[in-house]
Amino acid sequence: MANQEMKSYSLAEMKDKYIGKLGTQERDEYEYELHMDVLGKMIKAARKQRNLTQEQLGQLVGVQKSQISKLESSANSATIDTVLKVFKALKAEINFNVKLEDNFVRLV
């Protein structure tokens, strides 16, 4: 048997091959869903750190417990207004970066 080397691939190469290249609709949707999932997990972690139940956080924000539950499992159905209200209720600072091509947009 000949000694065969196994080819390894980077995560970026695997995403390009199986999800789609950057800039394609499939890849954009995947990246969006991933970011919304991470945002939901951040909300849940912050809520737990504040020792709040979903119901208590919902009361602070003015929404039902079920909406907080949905938000924590995936924030893709939430409006930016709701997300900001949640972080305000959690007394958590949130920062947004907007990047156009290779330049970050700074608001002064």
User: Would you place residue 105 in the very low, low, confident or very high pLDDT band (cuts 50, 70, 90)?
Assistant: low
User: Would you place residue 98 in the very low, low, confident or very high pLDDT band (cuts 50, 70, 90)?
Assistant: low
What CATH class is the domain 14-105? mainly alpha
Q: Provide the 8-state DSSP code for 76.
A: G
Contact assessment for residue 44 and residue 73, using Cβ atoms and an 8 Å cutoff:
no
Residue range 46-73: mean pLDDT, rounded: 93
Q: Provide the 8-state DSSP code for 47.
A: H
Q: How far is CA 17 from the centre of its chain?
A: 23
Among 39, 41, 106, 34, smallest CA distance to 79 is for 39
Q: How many CB atoms lie within 10 A of CB 43?
A: 22
Domains of the chain, residue spans: 14-105
Environment class of 86 (CB within 10 Å of its CB; exposed 0-12, middle 13-18, buried 19+): buried
pTM reported for the whole predicted model: 0.66
User: Would you place residue 99 in the very low, low, confident or very high pLDDT band (cuts 50, 70, 90)?
Assistant: low
The per-residue pLDDT for 52 is 95
User: Any residues with CB less than 8 A from the CB of 103 and at least 6 apart, and which?
Assistant: none
